[in-house]
Amino acid sequence: KFQYLNLYNGLNIGKWQLRNKTYYTRENSKSRIYSDKTWLSRDFGAINSRVTVGQTMSSGFFNPTFRIDGIKFESIPDMRPSFLNSYMPDIQGNALTNATVKIYQGDNLVYQTFVNPGPFTLTDIPTTGNSDLKVQIIEENGIVHEDFVPVSSSDTLRRKNVLDYSISAGKQNVKRAELMKNHVITAEMLYGVTSISTLLTGLTYSENYRSASLGGGFNLGNTGVSSIIGTNSQNSFYKKEGNAIELRHYKKISTLSTQIDFRHKYFSG
């Protein structure tokens, strides 16, 4: 007979939150209590960030994640306005008169505003899925102009000026002998440079291993979303160095209810 209990414990102290995950198992009259993780965290709403001290995980935005005993400082998307957490390119158009702009996703009206004559750019469009947008410009005289904007979500794209980051430092908590208790610093950043391009950077440094990554994510409109990430890594334990280039491409074909997700990784060294 096997019994299992998962305990999630917490204590709030002012602006700090103390949390613990503990497991209890009992099998054939033998019991075991195991504390998996204990950590202390605090949110900083003014900068949409959180600091965590204790047993935690590295971010893993686009690099492998691992457990560490130490400290992590990271951005928290849930602290931002919700529309900033789903990627959407800027919507640009031109109104001939004072006009009403309506944006539909599927059959749902998701945004409406009024614009003056001339070119306009809309940056705060909410999205509720991965369906393309229909943009209507309704002129003062009743004439309607329509356009369609393809929507392709990707974990490598951020809206313009949106920054996601994570910095962790501490001791690696892993089972591999050559890595156990190594001190490590790891950092990752994704920044929306424009409404169609995102900068990706990452760095990991420890006693036996170091790596650096640089790349970008790109919205190619009707062609889809592509990203390229190059990584150089060095392992002094095995005395090896190598490079990797990862290519990704995602394309949604709404008319066929089909998605294409291509990934290829090239290694050298």
153 or 251, which is more confident? 251
Whether residues 57 and 108 fall in one domain:
no
Whether residues 140 and 187 fall in one domain:
no
Whether residues 70 and 93 fall in one domain:
no
Whether residues 28 and 8 fall in one domain:
yes
Whether residues 60 and 169 fall in one domain:
yes
Torsions phi, psi for 79 (to 5 deg): -85, -15
Report the pLDDT value the prediction gives residue 123, as an integer from 0 to 100.
87
Report the pLDDT value the prediction gives residue 129, as an integer from 0 to 100.
65
Instruction: For residue 33, give the CATH number of its domain.
Output: 2.30.18
Instruction: For residue 95, give the CATH number of its domain.
Output: 2.60.40.3110
Q: Does position 176 have pLDDT exceeding 80, yes or no? A: no
Q: Identify the domain boundary among 122, 149, 176.
A: 149
Whether residues 72 and 191 fall in one domain:
yes
Report the pLDDT value the prediction gives residue 259, as an integer from 0 to 100.
83
Whether residues 171 and 235 fall in one domain:
yes
* E-strand stretches of the chain: 2-13, 16-27, 30-44, 49-57, 67-75, 91-95, 99-105, 108-115, 118-122, 133-138, 144-149, 163-172, 183-192, 197-206, 209-219, 225-235, 240-253, 258-268
Alpha carbon dihedral 51, 57, 58, 61, in 10-degree steps, equals -100
Mean pLDDT lowest for which of 1-10, 56-65, 198-207?
A: 56-65
Whether residues 56 and 182 fall in one domain:
yes
Q: Identify the domain boundary among 109, 125, 149.
A: 149
86 or 135, which is more confident? 135
| DSSP single-letter state for residue 204 | E
- Tell me the whole-structure pTM to 2 decimals: 0.84
Report the pLDDT value the prediction gives residue 124, as an integer from 0 to 100.
84
Q: Which residues contact 118 (CB under 8 A, 6 or more apart)?
A: 94, 95
| DSSP single-letter state for residue 88 | -
User: What is the average pLDDT score of the chain?
Assistant: 89
Alpha carbon dihedral 33, 36, 40, 45, in 10-degree steps, equals -130
- Long-range contacts of the stretch 135-138 (C-beta < 8 A, 24+): 135/91, 135/93, 135/101, 135/102, 135/103, 136/101, 136/102, 136/103, 136/104, 137/93, 137/94, 137/95, 137/99, 137/100, 137/101, 138/99, 138/100, 138/101, 138/102
Whether residues 99 and 75 fall in one domain:
no
Q: Does position 64 have pLDDT exceeding 70, yes or no? A: yes
172 or 266, which is more confident? 266
Domain count, the chain: 3
Report the pLDDT value the prediction gives residue 269, as an integer from 0 to 100.
75
Whether residues 37 and 53 fall in one domain:
no
pLDDT tens for residues 211-228? 999 999 999 988 889 999
- Residues of the domain holding 196: 48-80+156-268
Mean pLDDT lowest for which of 8-17, 40-49, 58-67, 113-122?
A: 58-67
Range 43-65 average pLDDT: 89
Output the six-digit token pair for 204.
């990991």
pLDDT tens for residues 19-33? 999 998 988 888 888
Whether residues 249 and 173 fall in one domain:
yes
Please name which of 199, 193, 250 lies closest in space to residue 62, comparing C-alpha atoms.
Answer: 199
In the chain, the amino acid numbered 75 is: S
Q: Does position 89 have pLDDT exceeding 90, yes or no? A: no
Q: Does position 181 have pLDDT exceeding 70, yes or no? A: no
Q: Does position 178 have pLDDT exceeding 60, yes or no? A: no
Whether residues 261 and 183 fall in one domain:
yes
